[in-house]
Amino acid sequence: MSNDVLTVEGLRVRFRGQPVDLIDGVSLSIPAGRTLCVVGESGCGKSVTSLAVMGLLPRRSATVTAGRIRFRGQDLLGLPEAALADLRGNSMAMIFQEPMTSLNPVFTVGEQVAEAVRRHTGCSAAAARDRALEMFRRVRMPAAEKRLDEYPHQLSGGMRQRVMIAMALANRPALLIADEPTTALDVTIQAQILELMRELQRDIGTALLMITHDLGVVAEIADDVAVMYAGRVVESGPVAQIFNAPQHPYTLGLMGSMPAIAGRAGRLLTIPGAVPVPEAMPPGCRFASRCPFAIPACDAQVPPLVRGPDGHAHACLRAPLEDHVGQDRTGDDRTGHDRTGRGAA
């Protein structure tokens, strides 16, 4: 029996007025105790996928048109709203990118964490406050007892994010979704938050879905990686496979554009062109117009996500890319990559 806490199969989401599914056949899975990082540039569908999992898509403008979302074997798409509300904040929790917009400004942070505990456990107000204080101490909140009675505006960005982590983990969820939780934080606080999440995950055994565009964060925390582009997963697999032997041109571009990942002197790579707009979405590979390896078939054929025996999957007709590095669709050497798939010096 699978030990996957979350399984997403062929998820498609369409927004009102759009001619195509902006989330197009996304499939993901996360076993207990492991971390899956979903990476890609802004607008690729990372956050929309997470909101679909949590059942938080705006009902008036977004519709799940196909696919399955299973949480511990339970079909989330078939659950009524009341049942989903019982899961959210209890067995499933989410940390949003900007805590200041997620915390209620008119209640103390201690009240808000205690409310999450009382909502799902039915314990007394005193017991819920004790649990909130325990979680504040676990997330290493400075002067934890004092902070319970402070309001969000009185806390720093790092403290507010610790509040969100404390609230998310207060009921020991089986699944935690973190949507770019360190984006607005300085490097020192970011490192502390990542270490804190790893530590609490080890203690609780939570499956973690981390959404980010920062490959440094991915290298630090991920067990597995899924790379998204224009609403599709174009590559996925163990983090070592993705970093050491990327097999999709978009992943190559991401790697080559990061100085810390490329790890060598010389120019950084850029990805030419722009992400296609919904009104002009290409019928084949959505990356084809920007891809240095593309051939005519890429413009017409949707590449399937092919998974190898090592768990590394890619959606590229030209893979393995090592056979083609150095040539684009015209035969010119414009890729700027060496045979390892990293940026050329």
- Structure confidence at residue 261 as a pLDDT band (50, 70, 90): low
- Structure confidence at residue 123 as a pLDDT band (50, 70, 90): very high
How is residue 213 annotated by DSSP? S
35-39/207-212 β-pairing: parallel
- Structure confidence at residue 2 as a pLDDT band (50, 70, 90): low
pLDDT tens digits for range 35-57: 999 999 888 999 999 999 999 99
**What would the mean pLDDT of 103-118 be, rounded to a whole number?**
94
Q: Per-residue pLDDT for 246 more than 70?
A: yes
**What would the mean pLDDT of 142-149 be, rounded to a whole number?**
95
Q: Per-residue pLDDT for 87 more than 90?
A: yes
The string of DSSP letters for 94-131 reads EE-S-HHHHS-TTS-HHHHHHHHHHHHH---HHHHHHH
Predicted local distance difference test score (pLDDT) of residue 260: 57
User: Full-prediction pTM beyond 0.85?
Assistant: yes
What's the chain's average pLDDT?
Answer: 86
Residues 207, 8: Cα–Cα separation, whole Å = 14
Total residues found in the chain within this entry = 345
Residues 16, 60: Cα–Cα separation, whole Å = 8
Top-level class of domain 4-222: alpha beta
The string of DSSP letters for 161-197 reads HHHHHHHHHTT--SEEEEESTTTTS-HHHHHHHHHHH
Q: Per-residue pLDDT for 330 more than 60?
A: no
- Structure confidence at residue 329 as a pLDDT band (50, 70, 90): very low
3-state SS class at 199: helix
Domain boundaries, the chain: 4-222, 246-323
CA geometry: angle at 32 spanning 87 and 313, to 5°?
Answer: 110
Q: Per-residue pLDDT for 227 more than 90?
A: yes
Q: Per-residue pLDDT for 119 more than 60?
A: yes
Residues 149, 110: Cα–Cα separation, whole Å = 6
Predicted local distance difference test score (pLDDT) of residue 325: 59
